[in-house]
Structure 1
Amino acid sequence: MKVGAGEAHQDIATIRMVQEMTLPHERVWHDPNRGWLVDDAIRIISAVRHLSPMIENPCEGYEECRTVVRRTGIPIMLDEVIDSPRRFLEAVKDGVLDVASLKTSCVGGIEATRQAMGLAKILGVPVRIEDFHGKGILLACVTQMAHTLPPNLVFGLYNYVNDESPLVKKPLPVIAGEIRLPDDCGPGLGVEVNEAILKDLVAVIKASHT
């Protein structure tokens, strides 16, 4: 649920309304997209804490989010401020997060994301593995990584497939809110790029073995 676009009292009203409508089996969280100032975040969370809402990345920086958690006593979901596996570990040590949203572009790429996932498995932290809009290729990438986690640590899925721009020929299907790798999954990410919609080659990058 997106919040943070208006005044603090409006966000309080929205969170209250949504939490009261949410059914026991449903999972919802409130995302101000790092848009709250520390004082507003403390005010809003304090006003709704009895409803046990999950708040995603309330403030711009990690230190600000840590201050909010320490002042309100409510751990949060961290998102873009997790910029490395080290930051993930720091957040766990500081008691700041109860869920981590790992964006590969923010964490430092696929290998860094895998390192953070390894820490999540050891420490028992639920994670969402995603990134900014990457469509079918990204969906395949995060699905492959999520399948290496135990089911209880996979917090959610963000479906990036856009039928108007079919970057892969057969995107992995999302059925009833779940996605699974097919038994006949091909090599690599398991999807075939639709080269017909690509434009001219921009550059060729060769890997260095030095």
Structure 2
Amino acid sequence: MPVVELRTHRVRVPLHTPFSTAVRTVDHVEAVLVEARDEDGRSGWGEATENWRVTGASLAGIEAAVDGPLRAVVLGRDPDATEPLTRDVGRAVQGNQAARSAVDCALHDLAAVRLSVPLARLLGAGTLRVPTDVTLAAGPAERMRSAAEQRRSEGFDVLKIKLGDPGGDDLRRLKEIGAAVGPGVRLRIDANQGWTPKQAVRLIGEFEQTGLDIELVEQPVAAGDFDGMAYVTARTGVPVMADESVWSPADALRLIRTRGADLINIKLAKCGGLRPARQLMALAEAAGVGVVLGSMMETHVGTAATAALAATARPGGLLPDLDAAWWLSRPPVTGGMVYDGAELCLPDAPGLGITGLAHTA
């Protein structure tokens, strides 16, 4: 029963609260959902999100890649042969990681649906519940403090703090947040490339002196500044995580060789899907580099695919960074994942448990 159709669906979903970083502010998510169907009418789902400032992906570009070379690779192929099929998807186009990821995830989801098992189980997971941190969007110190108090009351004990906003007082913001949440809350700092190497070292040193439980600092300097990443990593006692610097195994190897990061943030939309993400995870483990599985600002479809992979991780590792869909006012699909406090719950249903598009999408 080959793949007989590869469809694209545009969705636009508002956020319940605007989301700001050092790079951009958004109040909605625009994405292309990809649906792979077999002869029996069973569907698998994937997602590619428009993101001009980080991935460069556009809705038109995603649709062109999916409707053209990616569809040509997939149609008529056996969806149960996931490994060779997704390998060929990865080779079909240069760049276009978001589009490749959407098709890769849709094919993995379809394979799980055909076996009547959750996608997480197909990938080797022993659980369908995945804990997550939650992000505090960049803004004035008082507003971030209020948001931290609210997230803490909702059960989140790991907060990812967006700093690096030019002209902002990052130290004051951090102190306000720390005072609001008190002990027992771990803090992750994400500068989104907002600092110079010397500025990063100075600020991280000041952060350490606060006595707060700072778990890591993410992407302190520009994505392409590998020397700067190494400079910061060598001069701070707080673990440094690379995000925008890592798109491929070649990027990860460069960071490993230069000791440019203690951890890497693997995102499907950056690396091209579940297959390459698993390769990056294996590479990091072999090199003794930590991993956090994260997501772009995307919907329940893309977030759930990453959660299915995160569910395979060994217990005791760092929490995934999978609050993206938590910010949405509603899901664009029926069925699928839900949030339960600080945990993401995958349904005990075939694939991702998605039954179709929501009528409000």
* Category of TM-score, reference length = shorter chain: 0.7 to 0.9
Is 1:29 aligned to 2:188, yes or no? yes
Q: Structure 1 residues 122, 153: CA separation in 2 closer, same or farther (over 3 Å shift)? A: farther
1:173 aligns with 2:304: no
**Equivalence map 1:1-210=2 (5 Å):** 1-7=161-167, 10-19=169-178, 22-50=181-209, 51=211, 53=214, 54-61=216-223, 62-63=225-226, 64-123=228-287, 125-161=289-325, 164-183=329-348, 185-187=349-351, 189-194=352-357, 196=359
CA-based RMSD: 2.7
Q: Which residue of 1 aligns with 2:90?
A: none
The structural deviation recorded for 1:123 is 4.7
CA gap of 1:18–1:148, structure 2 versus 1, over 3 A, is same
Q: Counterpart amino acid of 1:171?
A: G
Q: Equivalents in 1 of 2:254, 2:182: separation in Å?
A: 33
Shift of 1:193: 3.2
* Secondary structure in structure 2 of the residue aligned to 1:166: coil
Aligned equivalents of 2:262, 2:179: Cα separation in 1: 22
Structure 2 unaligned spans of 5+: 1-160
Instruction: Specify the alignment match of 2:139 in structure 1.
Output: none
Give, as a single letter, the amino acid of the residue that structure 1 aligns with 2:310: A
The one-letter code of the counterpart of 1:66 is A
Give, in angstroms, the shift of residue 139 of structure 1.
1.7
Deviations along 1:157-176, whole A, 9 cap, x unmatched? 32233654532102312212
Unaligned runs of 5+ in 1: 199-210
Distance 1:89 1:23 in 2: 38
1:84-132 per-position Cα deviation (integer Å, ceiling 9, x unaligned): 1232244344433333221222224332211112234445544332332
TM-score by length of 2: 0.47
Q: Which has the higher contact order (CA 8 A, sep 6+)?
A: 2
Report how far residue 196 of structure 1 moved. 4.1
| CA distance in structure 2 between the partners assigned to 1:164 and 1:18 by the alignment | 25
Q: How many equivalent residue pairs?
A: 195
Query: Residue type matched to 1:41 in 2?
Result: A
Q: Hey, what's the Cα distance between the residues in 2 that align with 1:137 and 1:39?
A: 39
SS at match of 1:49: helix
Identity level (%): 25
Q: TM-score, normalised by structure 1?
A: 0.76
Matched-pair contact (CA < 8 Å) for 1:135–1:167:
yes
How many Å separate the matches in 2 of 1:181 and 1:124? 29
CA distance in 1 between partners of 2:328 and 2:174 (Å): 32
1:205 alignment counterpart: none
Q: Give the secondary-structure state (helix, strand or coil) at the position aligned to 2:174.
A: helix
Q: 2: CA distance between counterparts of 1:193 and 1:154?
A: 33
- 1:43, distance to aligned residue in structure 2 (A): 2.0
Question: In structure 2, do the counterparts of structure 1 residues 163 and 170 end up closer, same or farther at CA, with 3 Å as the change threshold?
Answer: farther
Q: How many angstroms apart in 2 are the aligned matches of 1:15 and 1:109?
A: 34
**Following TM superposition, by how much is the alpha carbon of 1:150 offset from its aligned partner in structure 2, in angstroms?**
1.0
* Cα distance, 1:28 vs structure 2: 1.4
Relative distance call for 1:27 and 1:193 in structure 2 (3 A) is farther
Tell me the distance in 1 between the aligned counterparts of 2:319 and 2:287.
Answer: 15
- Separation (CA, whole Å) in 1 of partners of 2:263 and 2:253: 12
